């Protein structure tokens, strides 16, 4: 499941280590899509959305009728370098999104961005309904059974039948169905997911 997809119940990242009391909190940027390939000859790009149903980038593009105050975006190049990004246009195409970046005017320039990742501020995501969370907010949460920590949640996968938490335990990963049978509760403030059991999962 993608960074900006949402599901239930509610969850969040644990407090980040290394923060100084009273220091301003750095804005958190989350990957939401990557450049799949150029589209056409005028520099348009086809994106692979991490959440196929998301309209976030369309809403954040310049000229969008639904766009509010300008939101800073970033582009992480295949080299790992991050740079500011301005999306000047976006339109849906099947399960993908076609976009136009500022300063990308032809197919050759677009080709250089293949594999680049688009980052959006977490605080720019739409507000959630009660009991929902974004997939990016459960990464790093502690998985507990009673008072025992059984691992760290690394990601969330979506299957046709259900969503599952991927939990890493001493270098080995296992999947926990996101159902009442296995998940007892999720504590947003503490960054803790309490499981009913992991019997039969490991």
| Structural domain spans, the chain | 29-124, 130-195
Tell me, yes or no, if the pTM score tops 0.75: no
- Spatial separation of the C-alpha atoms in residues 100 and 153, rounded to whole Å: 35
> 32: which residues sit within 8 A by CB, 6+ positions away?
2, 3, 4, 49, 50, 51, 54, 56, 57, 118, 119, 120
**CATH code for the domain defined by 130-195:** 2.30.30.240
- pLDDT the model gives residue 50: 86
- SS3 of 91-126: EEECCEEEEEECCCCCHHHHHCCCCCEEEEEHHHCC
* CATH 2.40.30.60 is the classification of domain 29-124: yes
Cα-flanking dihedrals φ and ψ of residue 123, to 5°? -75, 0
Question: What angle (nearest 5°) sits at the alpha carbon of residue 158, between those of residues 156 and 161?
Answer: 135
- pLDDT the model gives residue 6: 47
Question: What angle (nearest 5°) sits at the alpha carbon of residue 101, between those of residues 97 and 104?
Answer: 125
Taking a C-beta distance cutoff of 8 angstroms, is the pair 184, 196 a contact? yes
Matching residue, tokens 């899509």: 33
Residue in 160, 50, 147, 43 with CA at minimum distance from that of residue 101: 43
For every one of its 202 residues, what pLDDT tens digit does the chain have, with 9 covering 90 and above?
444 544 543 333 333 333 344 545 578 899 999 999 999 888 999 999 988 778 899 888 876 655 567 789 999 999 999 999 999 999 988 778 999 999 998 999 999 999 999 999 999 998 888 777 788 888 899 999 999 999 999 998 888 898 899 999 999 999 999 999 999 988 766 899 999 999 999 8
- Spatial separation of the C-alpha atoms in residues 89 and 101, rounded to whole Å: 7
């Amino acid at each position: 499941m993608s960074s900006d997809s949402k599901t239930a119940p509610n969850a969040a990242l644990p407090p980040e280590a290394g923060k100084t009391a009273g220091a301003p909190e750095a804005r958190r940027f989350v990957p939401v899509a990557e450049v799949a390939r150029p589209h056409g000859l005028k520099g348009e790009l086809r994106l692979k959305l991490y959440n196929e149903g998301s309209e976030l980038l369309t809403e954040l593009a310049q000229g969008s009728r639904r766009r509010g105050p300008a939101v800073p975006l970033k582009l992480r190049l295949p080299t790992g370098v991050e740079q500011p990004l301005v999306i000047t246009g976006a339109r849906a195409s099947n399960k993908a999104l076609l976009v136009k970046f500022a300063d990308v005017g032809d197919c050759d320039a677009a080709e250089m961005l293949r594999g680049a990742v688009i980052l959006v501020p977490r605080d720019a995501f739409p507000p959630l309904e009660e009991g929902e969370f974004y997939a990016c907010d459960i990464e790093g949460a502690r998985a507990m059974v009673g008072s025992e920590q059984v691992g760290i949640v690394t990601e969330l996968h979506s299957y046709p039948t259900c969503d599952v938490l991927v939990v890493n335990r001493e270098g080995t990963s296992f999947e926990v169905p996101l159902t009442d049978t296995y998940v007892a509760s999720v504590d947003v403030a503490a960054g803790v997911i309490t499981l009913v059991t992991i019997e039969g999962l490991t």
